[in-house]
Structure 1
């Protein structure tokens, strides 16, 4: 067999070297391209994260939006956490009537009654004095001082006359204080202003039970599909109120410059549960949520 000449060997080696160089070049280009794509993906992810952070920061970039965040936390019963955010809010924007209001509510809900009372009293000299009187009334109710609670809630109601839950609280406080006639008007107003309110429905049913209008109370509870546990609670509360001693006269805690409104006859729209008539007639609606006598965050304890 003839040995390959030196020229052929050199040509073959050159061809192999050129092929290797081309392969390396192609691989190198692919590697650079892959690195570029990975780098672009990383940059896009980083940009997206920065945009998300900026958006999150923007949601609390003003005092009003931060207050909305705190309000939402309190609606979800995150009272302790809301106190921490109120501290942060006031460090950034200072103390305001609105921040004092949410702080007072959080202090009350976390069992810090003395501090809550001081905060509510601060509100009495601000545009939010209605919230101040309301909070003081709820604190009085928590102590079992229902006559005082009714007095304070009445002050709040005169400043916020269309607040349905406040009216329901006022009616409930009057019931617990043994002032049945004083309870009737605010409870009827509460139900017509907020016919879907479980609190307003239950408190009016309680009034009907206490005043021996059991048929209408039953019709109201049936119309709103109240569960048996709520009906039992209403009946038990009514029994407790029936044995209360007569309530003393009004207690002058925070005298108001606003005169007491004159008592006028109440004319209400007839509804499907009002039966054969009588003094208690109001619009009712069907709700599916479980009912309680009073909302923990809004009702008189």
Structure 2
């Protein structure tokens, strides 16, 4: 090989060594496209973290429904409790009324003490207490309780039995005029109060008021559809005012024994003597 060729070979080797790094750098450079140089893509974002849910939580709507349901259940329970208490109170008061009707007024007072201790005194229990006190001749206390139940408004509409009780207290005291006034208020307030008419008719009879007595007793008799007590008062009226046919007819209808007839006749004669004594005093 000539010296010129050797020299060319050395120069080509050196160029090759110089170009090799350039070629390697070119391989690492992004390729160009027809539209221009391609830019490097940004790294993909990490996936967003999903929210965590509490599977035991309830929505506001569900909570409201649950609360409303609980309130409804509580209301039903409270209504059931009140209904039970009302039944117990009514049964206790009926028991007391039965005792009074059977002339066991002292036992009735004891039961009323128990009633008031358990539930507190109310208008029905106070009225029964006044009746029991009257039946046991505790007239002053009975009158105080009766008067405590008198009032206006709605209470006035319920005062018929109260005036009747006060009228009975006056009869027990022998105050016939006071009894008449109170019993008249009883029938004015409660126009269907049979016992008030019956007792008022008897008071009129004892006072010698013939027509008012008859009219009032007839009201009681027709309202009561032939009650034996009312008819007995009518028979007494017939004997006092000399309507013997009516008196005997009632005695036959009630099937009075001779003993009962004699007792009623004795009462009538006593009333007539009272009239005579009253007339002589005048």
Q: TM-score range by the shorter chain?
A: 0.5 to 0.7
Change (3 A) 1:112 1:145: same
Q: What is the match of residue 201 of structure 1?
A: 231
Which deviates more, 223-232 or 201-210?
223-232
Matches within 5 A, 1:194-273: 194-243=224-273, 244=275, 245=278
Shift of residue 60, structure 1, vs aligned partner: 8.7
Per-residue CA deviation, residues 20-72 of structure 1 (Å, 9 max, x unaligned), is xxxxxxxxxxxxxxxxxxxxxxxxxxxxxxxxxxxxxx899622221111111
**Following the alignment from structure 2 to structure 1, what is the Cα–Cα distance between the partners of residues 106 and 237?**
34
**Following the alignment from structure 1 to structure 2, what is the Cα–Cα distance between the partners of residues 240 and 87?**
41
**Following the alignment from structure 2 to structure 1, what is the Cα–Cα distance between the partners of residues 234 and 228?**
10
**Unaligned residue ranges in structure 1 (runs of 5+):** 1-57, 247-301
Instruction: Give the alignment's TM-score, normalised by structure 1.
Output: 0.59
Shift of residue 134, structure 1, vs aligned partner: 0.8
Q: What is the match of residue 189 of structure 1?
A: 219
Runs of 4+ in 1 over 3 A off after TM superposition: 58-61
Shift of residue 87, structure 1, vs aligned partner: 0.9
Q: What is the match of residue 130 of structure 1?
A: 160
8 Å contact from structure 1 (residues 168, 187) kept in 2: yes
**Following the alignment from structure 1 to structure 2, what is the Cα–Cα distance between the partners of residues 123 and 232?**
41
Shift of residue 200, structure 1, vs aligned partner: 0.4
Instruction: Flag the structure with more relative contact order, 1 or 2, with Cα contacts below 8 A and sequence separation at least 6.
Output: 1
**Following the alignment from structure 1 to structure 2, what is the Cα–Cα distance between the partners of residues 64 and 74?**
15
Of 194, 199, 203, 1:169 maps to 199
Q: What is the match of residue 209 of structure 2?
A: 179
**Unaligned residue ranges in structure 2 (runs of 5+):** 1-83
Matched, 1:106 2:106: no
Matched, 1:96 2:122: yes
Q: What is the match of residue 283 of structure 1?
A: none
**Following the alignment from structure 1 to structure 2, what is the Cα–Cα distance between the partners of residues 61 and 164?**
28
Q: What is the match of residue 32 of structure 1?
A: none
8 Å contact from structure 1 (residues 60, 66) kept in 2: no
Matches within 5 A, 1:269-284: none
Matched, 1:121 2:151: no
**Following the alignment from structure 2 to structure 1, what is the Cα–Cα distance between the partners of residues 203 and 149?**
22
SS of the counterpart of 1:85?
Answer: helix
Instruction: Give the alignment's TM-score, normalised by structure 2.
Output: 0.63
Aligned-pair Cα RMSD in Å: 1.9
Quick check: which has more Rg, 1 or 2? 2
8 Å contact from structure 1 (residues 165, 190) kept in 2: yes
